[in-house]
Amino acid sequence: MLVSQFIPFVTVLALPYTCLGDLIRVQNPDLQLPGDALVHREAVKEIFLKSYAAYHAAAFGHDDLDPVSNTSSDGRNGWGASIVDAMSTMKIMGLDDLFAEAVDFAGKIDFSRSQTADTVSVFETTIRYLGGLLSAFELGGKNDTLLVQKAAELANKMAFAWRDKTQLIPFGFLDFTANTPTIATSNIAEAGSLVLEWSTMTKYSGNATYTQLTEGALKHIATLPAPLPGLAAQGIDPSSGEFVGSSITWGGGSDSYFEYLIKHARLSNTDDNVFADTWATAVDSTIKILFRTSTVGDHLYTGDTDSSKRVRHVGSHLACFTGGNWMLGGKMLRNDTIVNYGLALNDACWNTYASTATGIGPEAFAYISSDGNFTGGSAPTPAQQAFYSLHGFYITSSVYILRPEVLESNFYAWRVTGDQKYQHRTAH
Strand partners, 120: 174
Active site residue 190: no
CA distances from 395 to 316, 379, 406 (A): 10, 12, 16
DSSP character for 76?
S
Strand partners, 385: none
Within the chain, how many helices (H) and strands (E) appear?
16, 15
Residue 119 phi, psi dihedral angles, 5° rounding: -70, 170
Q: Which of 81, 82, 86, 54 is nearest to 70 (CA)?
A: 54
Strand partners, 187: 235
Residue 244 phi, psi dihedral angles, 5° rounding: -110, 110
Would you give the end-to-end CA distance of the chain in angstroms?
50
Max intra-chain CA distance, the chain: 60
Handedness of CA 167, 173, 176, 178 (dihedral sign): negative
CA distances from 15 to 101, 233, 262, 269 (A): 39, 30, 16, 6
Give the whole-angstrom CA distance, residue 154 versus residue 129.
8
Amino acid at 344: A
- Annotate 188-208 with DSSP letters as a single string: HHHHHS-HHHHHHHHHHH--T
Options 124, 138, 153, 363, the catalytic residue = 363
SS3 181: strand
- Annotate 164-178 with DSSP letters as a single string: STT--SPPSEEETTT
Question: Given strand 180-181, what is the order of strands in its sheet?
Answer: 120-121, 173-175, 180-181
Residue 199 CA neighbour count, 13 Å, CB half: 24
Q: Which helix (H) or strand (E) holds 236?
A: strand 235-237
- Positions marked catalytic: 363
